Amino acid sequence: MHMPDELQTRDELVAFISSPQFRQTIDSLATVLSTEQMYTVLVSMGIPMEAAPFPGVEGFLQALISVLSKKPSTGEGSTVGKSAADDDLDADLYD
């Protein structure tokens, strides 16, 4: 798991995600994603605004899925066109 040392156990993680600070951060993110500001967040991530069909958390997630699904396929076991950063991202996504 890629978590800080203080969040390695289930109880520590549950306590963290139950904290008022975490909830406030999630609420703030949900508020931003439910407005036109979502497009600013997408652009800052290098994702074109057109990838999101509409504002909101669902639109944001659809944009992420759309961009990630267009990632060029290199075939099973092939490393052609893949960088070390791609491998790290893939490992993070599937851990």
Per-residue pLDDT tens, the chain, 95 aa: give them. 566 777 788 888 888 899 999 999 999 988 999 888 999 999 999 999 999 988 888 999 999 999 988 866 554 444 444 455 555 555 544 44
How far out from the chain centre does Cα 27 lie? 16
pTM of structure: 0.54
Q: Tell me, what's the pLDDT at 87?
A: 55
Output the six-digit token pair for 36. 């036109």
Q: Tell me, what's the pLDDT at 4?
A: 76
Burial class (CB in 10 A: 0-12, 13-18, 19+), 60: buried
Q: Tell me, what's the pLDDT at 55?
A: 86
Angstrom distance (rounded) from CA 19 to CA 25: 10
* 3-class DSSP assignment, residue 84: helix
